[in-house]
């Protein structure tokens, strides 16, 4: 849920200052990832000392945090600020809720995920999405469609990390619906 940081910050800091902050942190993460993969000793240290923080696949591939930061930067660059806030919140709140609900109560599986987890994701996205809708200029319909898009993207067995696909996909869908 630490991925919510820049979405919350966007309520207080906007424009170039926000983009500079997101860009600087993203560049730092990309540099760190490049360093740990270019120098095997650094990655061995990361795996040895930071393994409780890493998923198994992140030991030798970029972390979900890096994907999340790249997507956050892109949505704030490409989309309306309140659409970007909603999309980042869908990823940072909805995705972990899907995991917790799915692991705790999940019984019906589809593509390796649980429908109960997806239901949790949808409810979380609908609830958290109303925050940018109430302070911004986004209609509740756009949030509802964006929440559904985020949930479907989270459920699909995509090869790309969902920390990347959820914000970009849901922001794109919301932007399209906003044009109608």
Three-state SS annotation for the chain: CHHHHHHHHCCCCCHHHHHHHHHHHHHHHHHHHHHHHHCHHHHHHHHHHHHHHCCHHHHCCCCHHHHHHHHHHHHHHHCCHHHHHHHHHHHHHHHHHHHHHHHHHCCCEECCEEHHHHHHHHHHHHHHHHHHHHHCCCCHHHHHHHHHHHHHHHHCCCCCCHHHHHHHHHHHHHHHHHHC
Instruction: Report the candidate in 106, 107, 86 with the shortest Cα–Cα distance to residue 168.
Output: 86
For 30-75, the pLDDT digits (tens) are: 999 999 889 888 888 887 777 777 777 777 788 889 999 999 999 9
Rounded to two decimals, what is the model's pTM?
Answer: 0.89
Structure tokens at 44: 């061995």
Q: Residue 26's pLDDT is what?
A: 96
Task: List, in sequence order, every residue forming a beta bridge with 113; answer none if it has no partner.
Answer: 110
Q: Calculate mean pLDDT across residues 73-91.
A: 96
For 143-163, the pLDDT digits (tens) are: 999 999 999 999 999 889 999
Residue 110 confidence (pLDDT) above 90: no
For 1-23, the pLDDT digits (tens) are: 678 999 999 989 978 999 999 99
Instruction: Please name the residue that has the structure tokens 């990655």.
Output: 43
End-to-end CA distance of the chain: 32
Quote the CA–CA distance of 23 and 5 in Å, as a whole number: 14
Percentage of the chain lying above the pLDDT 70 cut? 98
Quote the CA–CA distance of 132 and 108 in Å, as a whole number: 32
């Amino acid at each position: 849920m630490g991925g919510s940081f820049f979405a919350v910050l966007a309520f207080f800091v906007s424009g170039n200052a926000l983009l500079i902050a997101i860009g600087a942190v993203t560049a730092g993460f990309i540099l760190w990832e490049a360093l740990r993969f270019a120098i095997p000793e650094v990655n061995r240290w990361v795996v040895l000392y930071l393994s409780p923080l890493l998923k198994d696949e992140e030991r030798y591939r970029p972390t979900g945090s890096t994907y999340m930061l790249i997507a956050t930067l892109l949505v704030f660059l490409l989309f309306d600020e309140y659409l970007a806030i909603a999309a980042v919140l869908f990823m940072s709140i909805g995705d972990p809720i899907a995991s917790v609900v799915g692991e705790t109560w999940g019984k019906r599986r589809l593509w390796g995920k649980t429908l109960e987890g997806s239901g949790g994701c949808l409810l979380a996205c609908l609830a958290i999405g109303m925050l940018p809708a109430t302070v911004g200029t986004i209609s509740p319909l756009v949030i509802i469609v964006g929440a559904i898009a985020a949930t479907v993207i989270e459920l699909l067995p995509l090869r790309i990390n969902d920390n990347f696909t959820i914000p970009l996909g849901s922001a794109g869908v919301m932007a399209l619906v906003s044009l109608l």
